[in-house]
Amino acid sequence: MSALQLVHINLGKVRPLRVGERKLMSAIGKTPVHGPVSVGPLGLAGDEQADLSVHGGLDKAVYAFPLEHLAYWQQQRLAHGVSLFEEPLLPGFVGENLSLTGLREDAVYIGDRLRFTHCVLRVTQPREPCGKFNAVMGYPQAARDMVQSGYCGFYLAVEREGSLEPGESFELVAGSRQMSIAQALALKRHKHLR
C-alpha cells in the first residue's frame, strides 16, 4: 500500500441542482479549501448536506474518496460524450469531503479507523450513489457505473473530534476486518439484482 495522504478537504453549500426536469437542492458540488478545518460529530465545519435522510448524520458525517478514481470518472464522461476535453476532474466533483491517496475500497474495511494528527474517523459503509450523482456526471447510467466499478469511496463517522489539514498523512488502524468496502458494495449490488 502506498503512502496514505489527505490531499484535499472539500466543502459545499446547498444550492439548486437540475435533475432532469426537476430542480432539487444539493451540496454535491464541493470545492477544495486551504488550511485546517474543524471536525465535529456531524462532519466538517462549513460543509452542508441538503437531504439528511440519505446524506450526513453520525454514520455518514464525512465522505472520503480515492483521488486516483477521478481519472476513471473523467474517462466515463468522455465515453458518454459529456466532456469534450480530457482535462481532469477537480477534487470535490463527486461530492467527496476528503480526497485521499493510497487507500482504495478493497483495502479498507468497515470498522477500520483513519488516524489523523488531530482526529480519528471510523469507516462505516460504501457510498451508494443517487440521481444527483447522475446529474453532476452528466449521463443517466453514472450511478450504475459507480456501483459496478466499485469506485465509490466510503463514509466515515467521527470517533474523535478535532481538525484536519490538507496535505497531512494518516494511519490506517485495522478494525475487525470482516468486510471490506468493496465487499459491502458487492453485497448491496447482489441484493439489488435479486
Higher pLDDT pick, 54 / 48? 48
Q: What is the pLDDT of residue 170?
A: 98
Under DSSP, is residue 57 helix (H, G, I), strand (E, B) or coil?
coil
Confidence of residue 1 (pLDDT cuts 50, 70, 90): low
Q: What is the mean pLDDT of residues 121-133?
A: 93
% the chain with pLDDT above 90: 79
User: pLDDT at residue 83 above 80?
Assistant: no
Q: Which residue has the cell 469531503?
A: 97
Residues 6+ apart with CB under 8 A from 183: none
User: DSSP letter string over 71-136?
Assistant: HHHHHHHHHTTS-SS-PPPPTTTTS-SEEEES--TTT-BTT-EEE-SS-EEEEEEE----HHHHHH
User: pLDDT at residue 194 above 70?
Assistant: no
Ramachandran angles phi, psi of 181, nearest 5°: -60, -40
Looking at CATH, the fold of the domain delimited by 5-193 is given as: M1 Pyruvate Kinase; Domain 3 (2.40.33)
Confidence of residue 27 (pLDDT cuts 50, 70, 90): very high
Q: How far apart are CA 86 and CA 71, in angstroms?
A: 9
Residue 159's region, left for phi above 0, alpha for psi from -120 to 50, else beta, is: alpha
User: Which burial class, exposed, middle or buried, applies to 188 when counting CB atoms under 10 A from its CB (0-12, 13-18, 19+)?
Assistant: middle
User: pLDDT at residue 193 above 70?
Assistant: no
Top-ranked range on mean pLDDT: pick from 15-29, 80-94, 165-179:
165-179
Q: What is the pLDDT of residue 54?
A: 78
Q: How far apart are CA 110 and CA 23, in angstroms?
A: 34
Q: What is the pLDDT of residue 191?
A: 66
User: pLDDT at residue 132 above 80?
Assistant: yes
Its pTM stands at 0.94
Q: How far apart are CA 169 and CA 114, in angstroms?
A: 10
Q: What is the mean pLDDT of residues 54-77?
A: 94
User: pLDDT at residue 52 above 90?
Assistant: no
Q: What is the mean pLDDT of residues 49-56?
A: 84
Confidence of residue 192 (pLDDT cuts 50, 70, 90): low
User: pLDDT at residue 104 above 60?
Assistant: yes
Residue 58 C-alpha cell reads as 453520525
Please, which residues bridge with residue 61 across strands? Answer: none
Task: Give whole-number Cα distances, 179 to 70, 120, 125, 189, in Å.
Answer: 24, 20, 10, 15
Nearest Cα neighbor of 89 from 76, 101, 80 is 76
- Residue-range domain boundaries for the chain: 5-193
Please, which residues bridge with residue 17 across strands? Answer: 24
Q: What is the pLDDT of residue 22?
A: 87
